[in-house]
Amino acid sequence: MIDLWRSVPPRGRIVIALALAALLALPLAADRYVLSVLTLIFYFAYVGQAWNLMMGYAGQLSLGHALYVGVGGYVAALLWLKLGIGPWLGVFAAVATASAFGAVVGWLGFQFGIAGVYFALLTIAFAEFTRIGFDHLALTGGAAGLFLPFEEKRMGEWWNLRGGQLLFYYLALALASGAVLLAALMARSRLGYQWLAVREDETAARALGINAFAVKMAAVVISSAMTAVGGVFYAFYYNNLFPSQVFEISRSIELILAPIVGGLGTVFGPVIGAFVLTPLGEGLIAVTGHFGIDAPGVKAVFYGVILILIISLMPSGVWPSLAKLLGLKGRVP
């Protein structure tokens, strides 16, 4: 980790340190709304990073990552509601369950040579099965959803993730920063290079002795495990879970936009992407509201148009383009 920090150019170290310090100090100055938007940014940076490890580095397209958010969220919420087990413990069960789901999806895909878009279809199918399953699962309240009750006496129990905006702001910041750190370490690791090899050319990778199956399994298990932690955050932040919301394919799409817009296969791409997209969505709500054109779908149309513009102007992502402008050399960090 010290090596990693040393490898960052001095300019980069200053920017990272200043950004972190500013975000840590921000709650002193910002209001609740700003904090809630930033919390959302960090959340999308986090789950985006989890997906980015699998797609951006290992080249395996998942369009069903909502599965792991949902499973993670439900497991931790159930343990809390039914057994009184707090999320700091529950997160381990959530991670174990979601990565088991990930392992099944990965095993089926990789063992039987289902690759590319067909693999993506498999991931969608699993998310959909699970959504339908949860719709009928009495234990989790079925389609009517699961609610984490608001209890006045528990507010401030940060160890049980019962608290206000500030708690979740710092938690999301920690998650997003941790994910950046993890991605940076992975990108420089042996496994990270093996992922890149498989992404670039699986046949060539195997000819160099890389066990492509094992490497891809590692990607899907790590990615689903990370995503599940995001799910636990989601459950305790929003205090409700509906199968039709958490497992929806639009949820899976939503969480892959930040890394795509920010820059696939880069450490900072998902963060930059989340910082572009989430404020864009929030800004559009304000703007369309202000001009009185808040008819259903108007916001989505503008959002879509802007997304198309960004992607057509910067096809490899905002961060790689920015890195070029900043004169960064070599592989985009």
Query: Do 179 and 266 touch, CB atoms closer than 8 A?
Result: no
Residues linked to residue 241 through DSSP beta bridges, in sequence order: 146
Among 209, 292, 296, 327, binds another protein (CB under 8 A): 209
Distances (CA, A) of 131 to 64, 94, 144, 185, 258: 11, 17, 13, 34, 24
**Which of these segments, 87-95, 170-178, 208-216, 285-293, binds another protein (CB under 8 A)?**
208-216
Check residue 206 for interaction with another protein (CB under 8 A): yes
At 226, the amino acid letter reads M
Among 2, 28, 29, 208, binds another protein (CB under 8 A): 208
Nearer to another protein, 115 or 143 (CB): 115
Among 113, 203, 292, 325, binds another protein (CB under 8 A): 203
The sign of the CA dihedral 251, 254, 259, 263 is positive
Nearer to another protein, 186 or 241 (CB): 186
Among 104, 154, 157, 211, binds another protein (CB under 8 A): 211
**Closest approach of Cβ 265 to another protein, in Å?**
8
Provide Rg for the chain, Cα atoms.
20
Nearer to another protein, 58 or 76 (CB): 58
Among 6, 153, 190, 290, binds another protein (CB under 8 A): 190
**Closest approach of Cβ 216 to another protein, in Å?**
12
Tally the C-alpha atoms within 13 A of residue 60's C-alpha that lie toward its C-beta: 34
Please return the burial class of 58, using the count of CB atoms within 10 Å of its CB with bins 0-12, 13-18 and 19+.
buried
Check residue 207 for interaction with another protein (CB under 8 A): yes
Nearby residues of 78 by Cβ (< 8 Å), 6 or more positions away: 139, 140, 146
**Closest approach of Cβ 194 to another protein, in Å?**
7
Nearer to another protein, 189 or 244 (CB): 189
Nearer to another protein, 153 or 190 (CB): 190
Distances (CA, A) of 150 to 36, 37, 156, 240: 18, 22, 12, 11
Nearer to another protein, 55 or 205 (CB): 205
Nearer to another protein, 202 or 248 (CB): 202
CA distance 262 to 311: 9
Among 50, 76, 91, 197, binds another protein (CB under 8 A): 197
Q: Which of residues 18-47 bind another protein (CB under 8 A)?
A: none
CA distance 111 to 220: 13
Nearby residues of 333 by Cβ (< 8 Å), 6 or more positions away: 8, 12, 184, 187, 266, 267, 268, 323
Check residue 151 for interaction with another protein (CB under 8 A): no
Footprint of another protein (CB under 8 A)? 188-190, 193-194, 196-197, 200-201, 203-212, 330-331
